[in-house]
């Protein structure tokens, strides 16, 4: 999508998913059969097979995403580089490319939550083009907030919210804020805070610290859902959240394979330990799995 930038004329976000098959064919033609065979011998057949399968899966998932976009008249697909975008705050180099959660993966994670959605604000940190906000609107959250530090992506997300007209939506109170996540002030309501590996650990630690401070100042229910499909982020995110001492990890089922997901998401769910947070005051506080069919779209 071509999004105007008031400060720099116009910027076209670079989509790494678009033309992936064409780029692969051009690469193969340029290298030739002998060079490709040499690369296979150098890296091993197993690595070569994994590379091919991963790229095929990416192409299939991207086609599912673009079909979903066409059906809903929105623009959420693609793997968007931050290069050249207008960024709020000093952490341009700490942000990861924008890749939205697949609908099936998001439904699976939300359907594990045993919370009264009507009491909670859903906050998506690093919302990108806003697909997660649209998916969250199918649950009866009190409100939904997306936080995004790239001006162009925020503009696309706002347009998507206006265009999305699914009759099964259950929340219409949706806002996108253009902000540095480390400066964001969380609302004084029960929270479901969603991260899909939006940035580096150093930035995440700051956001987590601010969330903890908000919860200590105004104790309330809070659930963190952290998902990652790249950079092995879940390996440092889980220890970071648990090391804070403010959250307890809850039992969740493993994420299955979904054809609309670029990669299978590794995820974990945590709940605040605060004295006034009833979500963890119960002795058997866990996230009870529900059927994904409960909220099929």
Measured between its terminal Cα atoms, the distance across the chain in Å is 25
Output the six-digit token pair for 105.
């993966």
Q: pLDDT tens-digit profile of 4-52?
A: 444 444 445 555 545 545 555 455 556 666 665 676 567 666 666 656 6
Q: How far apart are CA 102 and CA 107, in angstroms?
A: 9
Q: Which domain holds residue 32?
A: 1-297
- CB–CB of 173/144 below 8 Å? yes
β-pairing, 143-148 with 174-178? parallel
* CATH number of residue 170's parent domain: 3.40.50.150
Count how many domains the chain has.
Answer: 1
Q: pLDDT tens-digit profile of 200-240?
A: 999 999 999 999 999 999 999 999 999 998 778 999 999 99
pLDDT, the chain, mean: 83
Q: How far is CA 100 from CA 45, 97, 136, 215, 277, in A?
A: 31, 10, 13, 27, 30
């Amino acid at each position: 999508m071509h999004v105007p930038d008031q400060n720099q004329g116009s910027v076209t976000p670079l989509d790494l998913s678009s033309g992936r098959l064409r780029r692969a064919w051009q690469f193969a033609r340029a290298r030739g059969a002998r060079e490709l065979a040499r690369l296979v011998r150098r890296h091993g057949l197993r690595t070569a097979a994994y590379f091919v399968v991963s790229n095929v899966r990416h192409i299939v998932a991207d086609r599912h995403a673009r079909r979903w976009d066409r059906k809903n008249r929105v623009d959420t697909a693609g793997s968007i580089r931050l290069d050249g975008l207008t960024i709020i705050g000093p952490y341009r180099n700490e942000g990861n490319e924008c890749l939205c959660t697949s609908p099936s993966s998001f439904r699976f994670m939300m359907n594990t939550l045993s919370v009264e959605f009507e009491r909670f604000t859903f906050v998506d940190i690093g919302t990108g083009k806003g697909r997660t906000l649209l998916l969250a609107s199918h649950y009866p959250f009190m409100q939904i907030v997306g936080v995004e530090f790239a001006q162009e992506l925020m503009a696309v997300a706002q347009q998507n919210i206006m265009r999305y007209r699914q009759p099964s939506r259950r929340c219409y109170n949706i806002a996108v804020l253009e902000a540095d996540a480390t400066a964001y002030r969380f609302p004084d309501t029960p929270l479901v805070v969603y991260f899909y590996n939006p940035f580096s650990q150093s930035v995440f630690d700051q956001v987590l610290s601010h969330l903890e401070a908000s919860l200590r100042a105004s104790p309330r229910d809070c659930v963190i859902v952290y998902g990652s499909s790249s950079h092995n982020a879940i390996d440092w995110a889980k220890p970071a959240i648990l090391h804070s001492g403010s959250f307890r990890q809850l039992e969740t089922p493993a994420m299955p394979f979904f054809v609309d997901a670029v990669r299978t998401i590794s995820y974990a769910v945590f709940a605040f330990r605060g004295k006034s947070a009833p979500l963890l005051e119960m002795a058997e506080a866990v996230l009870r799995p529900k059927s994904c069919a409960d909220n099929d779209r």
